[in-house]
């Protein structure tokens, strides 16, 4: 495996006959070996993710990208490409943020203290507030306005490809990613949610828990799937509420738990000691 280089190819567009054959034949002509392929057709839309490999550590990236982009245009589909350098020892991370700092800060502190076997290469957010955090850690920051989700996700995908990102971490990123965006990143996007899922999905989880009068509040780190807050669970943690504890106190303690749980899940992914099968994480 060390002597091969890999490209993950994603295609999304109108369902049409022969799309899979066109891609696999093109890859065969380019000397690639197909490692895995997954496709889905739903409501007339075709989605495919394919992992291809080439012998050797170096790829003719420009040639591969040019030919596959041309093919995608012929098929009238959107193409994503993610390259994995066989010589790269550490995964490249993108950290997606909104306004809260606690989850992103935990990851970046672990990185700086050499407690994280990965390399953050991009911080991206739908608000400018965390630009200063990225600057403090000398990382590039991409501001992704979300007035139009399709344009925002196209911009985000472009930034991820340019930075050769392997893994995306949603560090309290408060936007819902579309199925078209998520599909090519299967089991490559981590999220932290402030509840013991499947309880209290969606927004305002702490408020939901507080209003229901629960005695134990938890957090869940999971992979992101097209179904909101329904992805395979990596790890969970919980805290017992104090009598008559206020909502701000619950949120403050919960945020500390979010940061530690997300960091633990990220380290688990980087250890490569897990497998996802039938929607469940195994080997952990």
Tokens at 90, concatenated:
């550490």
Please check whether residue 132 is in contact with residue 114, taking contact to mean a CB–CB distance below 8 angstroms. no
Which of 15, 180, 229, 275 is an active site residue?
229
- Alpha-carbon gap, residue 94 to 45, rounded angstroms: 28
Asked if residues 118 and 111 have their Cβ atoms less than 8 Å apart, the reply is yes
Using DSSP, state whether 167 is helix, strand or coil: strand
DSSP letter at 177 equals: P
Enter the tokens of residue 3: 């002597």
**Torsion angle, alpha carbons of 105, 150, 202, 229, to 10:** -80
φ, ψ (nearest 5 deg) of residue 61: -60, -45
Can 229 be counted among the known catalytic residues?
A: yes
Query: Among 175, 172, 170, 169, which Cα is nearest to 147's?
Result: 175
Task: Collect all residues with Cβ–Cβ distance below 8 Å to 248 and sequence separation of at least 6.
Answer: none
**Residues taking part in catalysis:** 229
């Amino acid at each position: 495996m060390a002597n091969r280089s890999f490209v993950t190819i994603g295609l999304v567009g109108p369902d049409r006959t022969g799309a899979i054959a066109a891609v696999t034949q093109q890859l065969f002509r380019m000397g690639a070996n197909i490692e895995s392929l997954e496709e889905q057709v739903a409501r007339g839309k075709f989605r495919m993710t394919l992992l291809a490999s080439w012998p050797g550590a170096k790829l003719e990236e420009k040639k591969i990208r040019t030919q596959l982009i041309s093919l995608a245009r012929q098929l009238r589909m959107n193409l994503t490409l993610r390259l994995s350098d066989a010589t790269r020892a550490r995964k490249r991370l993108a950290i997606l943020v909104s306004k809260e700092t606690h989850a992103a800060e935990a990851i970046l502190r672990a990185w700086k203290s050499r407690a994280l076997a990965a390399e953050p290469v991009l911080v991206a957010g739908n608000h400018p507030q965390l630009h200063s955090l990225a600057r403090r850690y000398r990382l590039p920051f991409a501001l992704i306005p979300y007035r139009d989700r399709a344009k925002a996700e196209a911009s985000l995908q472009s930034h991820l490809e340019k930075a050769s990102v392997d893994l995306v971490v949603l560090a309290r990123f408060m936007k819902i990613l579309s199925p078209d965006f998520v599909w090519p990143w299967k089991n490559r996007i981590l999220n932290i949610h402030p509840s013991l899922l499947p309880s209290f999905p969606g927004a305002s989880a702490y408020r939901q828990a507080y209003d229901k009068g629960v005695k134990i509040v938890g957090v869940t780190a999971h992979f992101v799937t097209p179904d909101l807050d329904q992805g395979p669970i990596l790890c969970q943690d919980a805290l017992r509420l104090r009598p008559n504890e206020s909502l701000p106190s619950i949120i403050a303690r919960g945020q500390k738990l979010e940061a530690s749980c997300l960091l633990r899940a990220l380290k688990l992914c980087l250890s490569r000691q897990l497998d996802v099968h039938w929607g469940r994480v195994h080997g952990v």
